[in-house]
Amino acid sequence: MSTAAPYDTLLEEKRGWISKIPDNKKAVMLISGGYDSIATAARLIEDFGMELYPMYVNRDARNKEGELASLEFFTKYFQDRYGKDSFHEIFQPNISVPPVEIKERLQEYAKSHRYPMRDFIMQMFASQYAVTLEGDVRVICNGVIATDSIADIGIARVNTLAICEMTKDWDWQILSINVDENITGTSFSKKDEIEWAVAHDIPMQHTMTCWTPVKHNNYLYHCGECYACAERQTGFKDAGRDDPTKYFNQLGNQE
């Protein structure tokens, strides 16, 4: 039995459906500037006709410079390509997740468990942003893919139930289209993202996936050694596509 099964049952009993593309096609999109969130945003607009209100949680991450450069590029790119009504200006609240006072003390735990509840906390802030928007925005989208540690669709269902119960509004949903087979009928991997982006001419070399980018000669390189870089490289290899990303540990081969 899927871990989502009991939560699916609860949602269906409460509102008659489990998850779906909203009728008004509006959603807050949690976006980081990484490959997954940018590819997912493009796919939501292209394949599902969504109107996105992107939200970047400025949490003072180590790769903040690269993330912000990616977001600046793709905000212009998406607005030029799809229109400003499809990809709105990015809301950038300054929120330390986790709190700076304990971040260093959490590092050892995070190596094997991630930061506890980090994504849920950001989704809660996204729900607060959503209710300030016009048009009954009740959907929070993310770029979770099948290989993520939080890819279990049951997590999206639990978080959906939590928001619905807290607000007493049963139209809410955390929408993870890449892992929600109820929406797409199949799971969407990094390989699938890469193939989709290439087919749709999305310039994904401008995304920032790396956890520890390296600045050299005024260019911010992916380090080529962290888990996120390894996953990106594996995705291109699995897709049989040339990887246009510039990696610092391959600098001698790229200059």
**pLDDT tier, 244 (very low <50, low <70, confident <90, very high otherwise):** very high
Do 243 and 123 belong to one domain? Answer: no
Residue 111 has pLDDT above 80, yes or no: no
Q: Which residues pair with 94 in a beta bridge?
A: 58
Domain range for 99 is: 5-201
Do 231 and 105 belong to one domain? Answer: no
Q: What is the dihedral of CA 72, 74, 75, 77, to 10 degrees?
A: 120
Do 154 and 89 belong to one domain? Answer: yes
> Which among 41, 63, 65 has a CA at the least distance from the CA of 53?
41
Q: Are strands 214-216 and 219-221 parallel, antiparallel or unpaired?
A: antiparallel
Task: Give residue-wise pLDDT tens across range 17-31.
Answer: 999 999 999 999 999
Do 118 and 221 belong to one domain? Answer: no
Residue 255 has pLDDT above 70, yes or no: no
Do 221 and 152 belong to one domain? Answer: no
Do 216 and 155 belong to one domain? Answer: no
- Give the number of C-alpha atoms closer than 13 A to the C-alpha of residue 149, restricted to the C-beta side: 12
User: How far is it, in rounded angstroms, from Cα 16 to Cα 25?
Assistant: 19
Q: Quick check: pTM over 0.75?
A: yes
Tell me what pLDDT residue 152 has. 83
User: How far is it, in rounded angstroms, from Cα 53 to Cα 130?
Assistant: 8
Q: Where in the chain does DSSP place strands (E)?
A: 26-30, 51-55, 139-141, 173-175, 214-216, 219-221
CATH of the domain at 124: 3.40.50.620
Do 120 and 185 belong to one domain? Answer: yes
pLDDT-above-90 percentage for the chain? 77
Do 135 and 217 belong to one domain? Answer: no
Counting every residue, how long is the chain?
A: 255
User: How far is it, in rounded angstroms, from Cα 224 to Cα 196?
Assistant: 23
- Taking the CA atoms of 44, 67, 71 and 216 in sequence, report the sign of the dihedral they define: negative
Tell me what pLDDT residue 112 has. 77
Residue 2 has pLDDT above 80, yes or no: no
Do 57 and 130 belong to one domain? Answer: yes
Do 19 and 80 belong to one domain? Answer: yes
Do 184 and 227 belong to one domain? Answer: no
Check: CB of residue 40 under 8 Å from CB of residue 177.
yes
Residue 124 has pLDDT above 60, yes or no: yes
- Taking the CA atoms of 127, 128, 130 and 134 in sequence, report the sign of the dihedral they define: positive
Can you tell me whether residue 139 is helix, strand or coil?
strand
Task: Give residue-wise pLDDT tens across range 23-70.
Answer: 999 999 999 999 999 999 999 999 999 999 999 999 878 889 999 999
Do 59 and 16 belong to one domain? Answer: yes
Check: CB of residue 140 under 8 Å from CB of residue 37.
no
Q: Are strands 139-141 and 173-175 parallel, antiparallel or unpaired?
A: parallel
Task: Give residue-wise pLDDT tens across range 153-173.
Answer: 999 999 999 999 999 999 999
Question: Which of 185, 201, 217 corresponds to the end of one domain?
Answer: 201
Mean pLDDT, rounded, of the chain: 92
The total of structural domains in the chain comes to: 2
**pLDDT tier, 174 (very low <50, low <70, confident <90, very high otherwise):** very high
